[in-house]
Amino acid sequence: MQLSASHLAGLLNGTVEGDPEVFVRKPSPIEVGGEGTISFLGNPKYEPFAYTTTASILVVSKSFEPKEPIRATLIRVEDVYSSIAFLTQEFGKIQKSLAVRSEKADIHPEAVLGTDVNIGPFSIISAGARIGNHVWIHEQVFIGPGVTIGDHSVLFPGVRILKECEIGQYCTVQSNAVIGADGFGFAPQPDGSYKKIQHLGNVVLEDNVEIGANTTIDRATLGSTIIRRGVKLDNLIQVGHNVEIGENTVIAAQTGIAGSTKIGPNCRIGGQVGFSGHLKIAAGTQIQAQSGLAAHVETPDTALFGSPAIPYNDYIKAYAVFKKLPEIYRQIHQLQKAVTPKEK
């Protein structure tokens, strides 16, 4: 399917500069471009590509003032990044418009499938699974017994959704994510060995959640590990058993969250952050990358940095002093020499 500049401008509440009847079939990065594609200029550092891109349409902000002629038709909008999010969703709908159930998929007769469900080759839908309407299941996906998948959700190749886990509506699970594996629970024995604790709960993803590639979310020991509405998890994140992540919290790659920690809504957590178990993190907490949390965060909207994490501004001040320690030590040594009486 192809869309014209005038049609796209209408969708984005934008204005057209150039040919309103030029057509595009897909988005492209501004530095790649290509005839029949639409690109975006949201970050000023990419402005030089605006003058060389071969894309047919370029979305820019209303305040953008080009310094050189631009070949592409421009669509001027209030917010380029919101336009990117909207159009990628629209083009995604076009790509998913023709649902197909591959003959190479293994669909158990006791599974319940909604309308317009796509199932790719070598995917497995187990007994008792319930798949909603307009769900897109790519190749080599495993859906375990009793799993539920809400309407309009997308599971990319290699995803594993294990027994009795629940996925809400409009969720996206990227390739090779594992939802519902056993948590890391072992009871120490008198002889020094460890006995496995069975995990009998599940994982619940509420609506509009996105899970990155190779992220793992462990099932609860009892009850549920819960990822609340609107949460966005990056690639390579480990979420332990019985964790709860609040609405609209975003977490960057390689973060690890130990069991039973409760993270509040609207938190922003950088990459490689580590959480000890059984913590409570207040709403709106912001945590800088590579920080370590070993204590509760009780005050909402706190910004933290360091390992163990301390208030962000305190860490920046302390680090400024830390960098000067060698020079401070040298000065102290010189002062000691100056005030120490010389032996006769």
> What pLDDT score was predicted for residue 340?
77
Mean of pLDDT values over 311-324: 86
- Give the C-alpha separation, 75 to 83, whole Å: 10
Residue 96 — pLDDT band, cuts 50, 70, 90? low
> What pLDDT score was predicted for residue 124?
98
On whether the CB atoms of residues 8 and 57 are closer than 8 A, the answer is yes
> What pLDDT score was predicted for residue 251?
98
**Cα–Cα distances in angstroms (integers) from residue 237 to residues 16, 137, 138, 165, 212, in the given order:** 42, 22, 22, 18, 8
> What pLDDT score was predicted for residue 1?
61
- Give the C-alpha separation, 272 to 254, whole Å: 5
* Fold of the CATH domain 3-95: 3.40.1390
Mean pLDDT lowest for which of 22-36, 121-135, 228-242, 250-264? 22-36
> What pLDDT score was predicted for residue 337?
83
Mean of pLDDT values over 259-268: 98
| pLDDT higher than 70, residue 167 | yes
Mean of pLDDT values over 82-89: 87
Residue 111 — pLDDT band, cuts 50, 70, 90? very high
Question: What's the mean pLDDT when you consider all of the chain?
Answer: 93
> What pLDDT score was predicted for residue 233?
98
- Give the C-alpha separation, 305 to 312, whole Å: 5
* Fold of the CATH domain 106-315: UDP N-Acetylglucosamine Acyltransferase; domain 1 (2.160.10)
Do β-strands 303-306 and 309-311 pair in parallel, antiparallel, or remain unpaired? antiparallel
Do β-strands 142-143 and 124-125 pair in parallel, antiparallel, or remain unpaired? parallel
CATH 3.40.1390.10: which residues of the chain? 3-95
Give helix then strand counts, H and E, for the chain: 5, 39
Active site residue 152: no
CATH 2.160.10.10: which residues of the chain? 106-315
Mean pLDDT lowest for which of 103-107, 282-286, 323-327? 323-327
| pLDDT higher than 80, residue 305 | yes
- Give the C-alpha separation, 234 to 253, whole Å: 5
| pLDDT higher than 60, residue 95 | no
> What pLDDT score was predicted for residue 94?
53
Helix (H, G, I), strand (E, B) or coil at 18: coil
Residue 343 — pLDDT band, cuts 50, 70, 90? low
> What pLDDT score was predicted for residue 87?
86
| pLDDT higher than 70, residue 97 | no
- Give the C-alpha separation, 51 to 200, whole Å: 58
> What pLDDT score was predicted for residue 100?
83
Choice among 134, 138, 199, 241 that is catalytic: 241
Tell which residue, 293, 286, 296, has the closest CA to residue 308.
293
Mean pLDDT lowest for which of 25-34, 134-143, 262-271? 25-34
From its phi and psi, is residue 279 left (phi > 0), alpha (psi between -120 and 50) or beta? beta
| pLDDT higher than 90, residue 216 | yes
How much is the pTM? 0.77
Residue 344 — pLDDT band, cuts 50, 70, 90? low
